[in-house]
Amino acid sequence: MVNTIVQDIKTTENYILLTIKTEKEINIEPGQFVMLKLKQFDFGKPFSVIYQEGKIIKFLIAVVGKMTKEMKNLKIGDSLELRGPYGIPFIEKLHKNKKYVLLGGDCGSAPLIHFSEKYPELVREQIYGFVIPEIKKILNIKHLHIDIEEGINPLQKAENLNISNDDGFLVCGSLNFIKYTQKKFMDYKIFASLEARMGCGIGMCKGCPIKTNDGIKMICKDGPIFDLSEVDLEW
Amino acid sequence: MQNPGIEKFIQKDLPFLETLNTNVILSIGGDTKSDYLNLIEKLNNSNAALFELNLSCPNVGKSGIPLGIDEIAIFDLVKETKKISKKPIFVKFGVETFLEDLVSAAVKGGADGVTLINSPKGMKIDIEKKTVILKRGFGGYSGPAIKPIALATIFRIRRKFKDLPIIGMGGVFDYTDAIEFIMAGANLVGIGAGVMADPEMPIKIINDLNKYFKKEKYEDILSCAVEGYYV
Ligand code: FES
């Protein structure tokens, strides 16, 4: 468990961009996640990272549950407990001889943005899709796609990209977003970062199972990055 | 709990556990009596301190009653495992209505102690998605929410079995919880969900307990519990 201090926090109704500073330096590879815990909660929750350098880590968080609602009230100087990083990063699963289209759905964009900064040579194209423009108030990056502004969704946009048959996809977002990607780009290699409700984050509680060609695996420990041809998303 | 099975455990995890300078408890579970006997045979020569028989398996035996609540089956299982085991045998129970009778059956079969409590079943339903959260619908419910239930269960059993060694667990998250478990009648205190919330939690609890026992005498919190048995 590492203690961290809030350095900066920007919020909108549904999103938080949180910057924290860890007590000691940790290295988080894109695709890995950490467990963050507020003092008043017994269990932490998993968050993937949008940016990390030395002791500074940034998270892009969708306000969806009790803990993220509480996180909205964090102030600069507040402390948060962190443990991790956990999970197997993109770079250990993907094929390094390919280039990838990064497809993010909502806050699922975070680990992909992290990836694009660390491994630009592996990136073919990037689309970070959000439904409404609210996100722009706190996130100012290239390749943002806002559905209601463009009139199409990120996957429709991806269809028109100039990609070669050899390219692959890295995708992260809701389960439906991932399933839809899989359907649309069947002929490509797709690696997805899967989400799950997690209790422990380290393979102990058996709370995040996924069916794979090699039996039941835990998303926290054996993932969260999976080759989509190896998992059964309908299970 | 689901795991890769005994062969992989012996190959991968046991060698590591055997390097640790502490008492290792091997908790085993199976569908049938022969599963348990088989596991004990395979693990008998490890340097573990004791075996714990986890009876939480919902599978139904010959009698038509799940093993964990079948007095005769428990007696028989403990007796048979005791015959071949080179180590003491503890039996882990959940929260059952006639738990005293079940523990009695285990003790008559030769159990050296009991572990209390196995996590009760719980579930969560997402009313927006209109679906259950867990793949199997329900799962083990653990953590601080079950602490009062664990304490009451340990207290209940301690009242009836004055000298029976009890490993108490269920929602221990800090040293004050551990003290409550000792006061309720536990001889050893276990941590389950706490380790999942924070793998370093046991170290913190041990340090805090050491500080606590600089001021307080262990005998004092025991006698407080003993008095409590007979109120
Ligand atoms: S979160 Fe506990 S096993 Fe994955």
For residue B23, is pLDDT > 80?
A: yes
pLDDT at residue A225, rounded to an integer: 95
Predicted local confidence at residue B231, as pLDDT: 44
CATH architecture of A90-193: 3-Layer(aba) Sandwich (3.40)
Q: Does B172 contact chain A (CB < 8 Å)?
A: no
Chain B nearest CA to A150, separation (Å): 28
User: Can you give the pLDDT at residue B221?
Assistant: 79
Identify the pLDDT of residue B63: 59
Which one, of A160, A159, A192, lies nearest residue A176 by Cα? A192
Of residues B225 and A29, more confidence is placed in: A29
Q: What is the pLDDT of residue A234?
A: 86
Query: Closest residue of A to B142, CA-based?
Result: A205
CA A27 to chain B, closest CA, distance in angstroms equals: 19
pLDDT score at B2:
62
ipTM: 0.74
pLDDT at B216 over 70: yes
Tally the residues of chain A: 235
DSSP single-letter state for residue B119:
P
B23, B17 Cβ separation under 8 angstroms: no
Strands in A56-62's sheet, in edge-to-edge order, are A45-48, A33-37, A79-86, A2-11, A15-22, A56-62, A51-53
Sites in chain A below the pLDDT cut of 50? none
Contact A16, A71 (CB under 8 A): yes
**Ligand 1 center–CA B129 separation, angstroms:** 22
pLDDT tens-digit readout, B55-104: 876 555 555 667 778 899 999 999 999 999 999 999 999 988 899 999 99
Least confident of A215-224, B24-33, B61-70, B119-128: B61-70
pLDDT of residue B137: 87
pLDDT attached to residue A42 = 87
Residues of B in contact with A37 (CB under 8 A): 197-198
The pTM score is 0.84
Instruction: Note if B224 is an active site residue.
Output: no
Distance A131 CA to ligand 1 centre (A): 30
What is the rounded end-to-end Cα distance, in angstroms, of chain A?
A: 33
**Cβ contact (<8 Å) for A204 and B197?**
no
Q: Which residues of chain A form CATH 2.40.30.10? A: 2-86
Question: Domains in chain B and their CATH numbers?
Answer: 1-116 (3.20.20.70), 142-231 (no CATH)
Choose the weakest-confidence range: A143-147, A224-228, B9-13, B162-166.
A143-147
B1 touches chain A (CB under 8 A): yes
Q: Are residues A204 and B173, on separate chains, in Cβ contact within 8 Å?
A: no
Residue B191 contacts A, CB cutoff 8 Å: no
Banded pLDDT at B226 (limits 50, 70, 90): low
Please state the rounded mean pLDDT for residues B40-63.
82
Strand partners, A8: A19
Across the interface, do B196 and A206 touch by the CB < 8 Å criterion? no
Taking an 8 Å cut-off on Cβ atoms, the answer to whether B193 and A199 are in contact is: yes
CATH number of A2-86: 2.40.30.10
Sequence ranges of chain A with CATH classification 3.40.50.80? 90-193
Helix, strand, coil % (nearest 5) of chain A?
25, 35, 40
Output the pLDDT for position A48: 92
**Mean pLDDT across B210-215:** 92
Q: How far is CA A92 from the centre of its chain?
A: 16
Q: Higher-confidence residue: B220 or B155?
A: B155
Share of chain B above pLDDT 90, in %: 66
Q: Whole-angstrom Cα distance, residue B42 to residue A216?
A: 25
Asked if A131 contacts A71 with a C-beta cutoff of 8 angstroms, the reply is: no
In this complex, is the C-beta atom of B136 within 8 Å of any C-beta atom belonging to chain A? no
Amino acid at A177: F
Of B133, B196, B199, the CB nearest to A205: B196
Q: Is the dihedral of CA B205, B210, B213, B214 positive or negative?
A: negative
